Amino acid sequence: MLFKHPNLLWALLLLLIPIFIHLFQLRRFKKTPFTNVKILKKVEAQSRKSHSLKKWLLLFTRLLLLTALIVAFAQPFIPGKTALKSNEIVIYLDNSLSTQAKMGTATLLENMVQGILKSIPEEEVFTLFTNDKIFKEVRIGDIKNDLLALPYSNNQLQLKEINLKAKTLFSEAEGTRKDLVLISDFQKSINSPTIDSIPDINRHLVKLTPESLVNISIDTVFINSYSSDNLELKSILSTNTKLDNTPVSLYNGERLIAKTSVTFNNNKKGEVIFTIPANELINGEIVISDSGLNYDNQLYFNLAKQDKIKVLSVGDVDSDYLSRIYNKEVFQYSNLSLKSLNYSLLESQNLIILNELNTIPIALQNALQAFKNAGGSLVVIPSGEVNTENYNPFLMGLSNTLLISSVKEERKISQIAFSHPLYKNVFEKEVTNFQYPSVNSFYSIKSAMPKILSYQSGDPFLVGEDGTYLFTASISKENSNILNSPLIVPTLYNMGMASLKMPEIYEMIGSKTTVDIPVRLTKDRILKVSLKDFEFIPFQQSFTTKTTLTFNDYPEVSGIYNITDEGKTIKNISFNIPREESQLHYMDLDDLNASSKNDDISALFQNIEKDNSINELWKWFVILALAFIFIEVLIQKFLK
């Protein structure tokens, strides 16, 4: 027990006064004159022992009365565990997409918000942050409307990020109680490999879970096969429980163009296939009806007639294999000899192949350097008899590469960099027992570019990065049999595809996305991206033959966006929210360290308030003083 005014307790010394009066009071005798015994005043006989007991009872009663009054004026109180410290509260409110799940008649997020509004006192100052917003040092009335209108966020913070962010929101003052309250459904996806503890901070966990854990998600859609007339779209769906047939609809804009159903296998995966006309403009949306999460019930994509990629090969050797690889449906391929080459054509190309030239004229070297600086892609295939003194200055300026010497011996091409972007989605697994192509001679090189294909000795056959590729040997039939190998087709084909990055049929929000638009912009023109009333300008870099758009922080809402040039739509691009939170797999709070673990927001804040509360006792001492007054009256009246 502590006192608000402890100095008043010195008044307890005054209790010595009545003690002295009772112990040392002087007795004065009264004289009564009389003439005889008849006129004596009758005196009531009184027991000396009874008289003494009454005086002691009155003494103790009055001492206790005065003591109770003095203590009451000193205002005693019993503090909570941390009532004598200043208190700081930081709240993390999880507004991720998984909080769309139902809990009763409302969603998890709505229940979390209502719990906060009902539990925090109006005068309490606190800091609250979500996955994408911060409300610092506010009262509940200041942010009530913001919380009620809080949107769902696809930016799910990890536990480690939550701790680090919360640490920056607490003050550096010492001697204060610091409470960090995490209100979330605690999906497994937010768990970090290592979670740093925060010293001197009490971490409280409040976990709310949905009543139903059934959810169906549209995971992806892609082109399964393609012909001149039709294409097949395959969509993969998943669920977290065993379900029967679920209807799946395909829309083009607002028009329903196909409908089917999906059956899930034992792995809780299902797939559907839609056949639609090829080369038709499709602003597609795949839709399901599901009582679980809402955000993964639709997936947007768009199909459009692609602009042809311009490929130019320069050389006098046979290039029929190039014309077969770069087909007319996707590419605009042309082949020119060195003598007939018009240098003004170079800047309009996307990919240029130097096909086994012995020397590269200086004028062509300068034009190719400008072409590369403008964002073009270049493939260099040397002949069997190159002039290294002519090649090396060009390669050195282009890619910090040198041809060292010619090696006249047969080598097999047996090593493939499967992780290289050229071979993305080419191999289902790392193949080690295919029929290796070989070369009869090659050039040893010194290069900082990564290896793509290598000989069994480890020397590189193909190196490249950032749109620059160099073969270290002639691939003509006289020197190599690689033209008969299936390996050459995806290698050269993907070089062409990478020279003009086509937009995928959809992109994921939150990941860095680059798209090449075959539009050459003047200095004052910019491309804009819009969806209904929302419009923004992405980061863009203009080259001679294209403009590269980079998406990172925006957009934040899924849908089909229009890319416009001076108000005219030139292309559509679809964005969807990642599906990581669709499985509804939750953490066990017993695996986390915390000061308390709760399933009710109100109960937690009541405990925090109790720890910070002060129980005042002065009223009880006033009541006690009145009781002693009543006891004294009883003693005076009834004790004779």
Domain that holds residue 56: 2-28+37-80+616-638
How many angstroms separate the most distant Cα atoms in the chain?
168
pLDDT at 326 over 80: yes
pLDDT tens per residue, range 330-365? 788 999 988 888 888 888 888 999 999 999 999 999
pLDDT at 34 over 60: no
Least confident of 200-214, 428-442, 562-576, 612-626: 612-626
pTM over 0.75: no
Chain-centroid distance, C-alpha 63: 69
Distances (CA, A) of 508 to 92, 422, 555, 580: 26, 21, 10, 12
Asked if residue 116 lies in contact with residue 140, where contact means CB atoms within 8 angstroms, the answer is: yes
Name the domain count of the chain.
5
Mean per-residue pLDDT, 2-7: 67
CB atoms near residue 88 (< 10 Å): 19
Chain-centroid distance, C-alpha 240: 22
Domain boundary among 471, 499, 527: 499
- pLDDT exceeding 70 applies to what percent of the chain? 86
* Same domain flag for 177 and 297: no
pLDDT at 320 over 80: yes
d(CA 335, CA 330): 16
pLDDT for 612: 58
Mean per-residue pLDDT, 261-282: 85
CB atoms near residue 220 (< 10 Å): 19
pLDDT for 39: 47
* Same domain flag for 341 and 429: yes
pLDDT for 43: 47
Domain boundary among 306, 337, 365: 306
* Same domain flag for 334 and 377: yes
Q: Domain containing 233 — which CATH number?
A: 2.60.40
* Same domain flag for 43 and 61: yes
Q: Domain containing 127 — which CATH number?
A: 3.40.50.410
pLDDT for 45: 43
Asked if residue 483 lies in contact with residue 473, where contact means CB atoms within 8 angstroms, the answer is: no
Lookup result for tokens 């295919």: 434
Mean per-residue pLDDT, 430-446: 83
Mean per-residue pLDDT, 284-293: 86
Cis peptide before 210 (omega within 30 of 0): no
Strands 468-471 and 377-382: parallel
Report which of 501, 499, 506, 538 is spatially closest to residue 517, judged by C-alpha positions.
Answer: 501
* Same domain flag for 191 and 226: no
Report which of 208, 155, 195, 101 is spatially closest to residue 583, judged by C-alpha positions.
Answer: 101
Strands 309-314 and 331-336: parallel
d(CA 506, CA 509): 10
466: left (phi over 0), alpha (psi -120 to 50) or beta: left
pLDDT for 614: 58
| Cβ-based neighbours of 371, under 8 Å, separated by 6 or more | 346, 347, 349, 352, 378, 544
* Same domain flag for 388 and 461: yes
Quote the Cα angle for 300-304-308, to 5°. Answer: 140
pLDDT at 28 over 70: no
* Same domain flag for 255 and 329: no
- pLDDT exceeding 90 applies to what percent of the chain? 18
* Same domain flag for 66 and 150: no
pLDDT for 461: 93
Domain boundary among 576, 598, 625: 576
Report which of 608, 616, 524 is spatially closest to residue 79, judged by C-alpha positions.
Answer: 616
Confidence of residue 194 (pLDDT cuts 50, 70, 90): low
Report which of 67, 181, 118, 176 is spatially closest to residue 602, judged by C-alpha positions.
Answer: 118
* Same domain flag for 251 and 293: yes
CB atoms near residue 185 (< 10 Å): 22
Query: Which residues share a beta bridge with 568?
Result: 565
Distances (CA, A) of 143 to 88, 114, 127, 166, 170: 18, 13, 11, 19, 19
Q: What phi and psi, each to the nearest 5 degrees, are found at residue 567? A: 85, -5
pLDDT at 47 over 60: no
* Same domain flag for 74 and 123: no
- Name the DSSP letter for residue 153: B
Mean per-residue pLDDT, 575-580: 88
Chain-centroid distance, C-alpha 447: 39
pLDDT at 38 over 70: no
pLDDT tens per residue, range 73-102? 777 756 555 544 567 888 899 888 888 888
d(CA 195, CA 162): 10
Question: 3-class SS at 390?
Answer: helix
What is the per-residue DSSP string for 495-539?
HHHHHS-PPPS-EETTS-EEEEE-----TT--EEEEETTEEE--E
Least confident of 43-57, 63-77, 336-350: 43-57
pLDDT for 344: 84
Query: Which residues share a beta bridge with 191?
Result: none
pLDDT for 40: 47
pLDDT tens per residue, range 154-187? 888 888 888 888 888 888 777 677 888 888 888 8
Mean per-residue pLDDT, 365-387: 90
Confidence of residue 301 (pLDDT cuts 50, 70, 90): very high
Give me the chain's average pLDDT, please. 82
Query: Which residues share a beta bridge with 128?
Result: 91, 135
For residue 440, the surrounding DSSP H or E stretch is: none
* Same domain flag for 103 and 195: yes
pLDDT at 7 over 70: yes
* Same domain flag for 570 and 602: no
